[in-house]
């Protein structure tokens, strides 16, 4: 899994805003993200350990340890979900 920091997610968030991939919720902390430029659908998973956030994706960029726009897109949806859950609680 890739450790997510403000620094390494900034570019991915920018790309995500341009490409606007479709994100689907699968189960807690797991999302399916459609590629913007090919028919692939990637599964993105998140984890939190000792207050640090981690993410993983099945695409080539993430394989090389880069935060891809799939992770950024799923992270945005994940944050929304978490805050909605807190509001409902």
Answer yes or no whether residue 23 interacts with Zn ion by CB under 5 A.
no
Instruction: Find the binder of Zn ion among 70, 72, 74, 75 (CB under 5 A).
Output: 70
CA 8 to chain centre: 12
Bridge partners, residue 49, by sequence: 52
Report the residue from 2, 57, 67, 74 that binds Zn ion according to the rule CB under 5 A.
57
Token pair of 80 as six digits: 């929304």
For 52, residues 6+ apart whose C-beta sits below 8 A from its C-beta are 3, 4
Q: Which of these ranges, 4-12, 21-29, 45-53, 62-70, lies near Zn ion under the rule CB under 5 A?
A: 62-70
CA 64, CA 82: separation in Å to the nearest integer?
Answer: 28
68 is a site residue for Zn ion (CB under 5 A):
yes
Interface pick for Zn ion out of 4, 12, 23, 59 (rule CB under 5 A): 59
Q: What residue ranges bind Zn ion (CB under 5 A)?
A: 42, 57, 59, 62, 68, 70
């Amino acid at each position: 899994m890739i450790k997510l920091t403000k620094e390494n997610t900034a570019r991915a968030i920018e790309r995500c805003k341009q490409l606007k991939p479709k994100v689907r919720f699968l189960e807690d902390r797991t999302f399916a993200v459609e590629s913007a430029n090919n028919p692939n659908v990637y599964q993105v998973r998140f984890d939190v350990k000792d207050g640090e956030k981690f993410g993983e994706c099945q695409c080539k960029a993430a394989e090389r340890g880069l935060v891809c726009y799939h992770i950024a897109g799923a992270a945005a949806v994940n944050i929304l979900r978490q805050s909605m859950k807190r509001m409902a609680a």
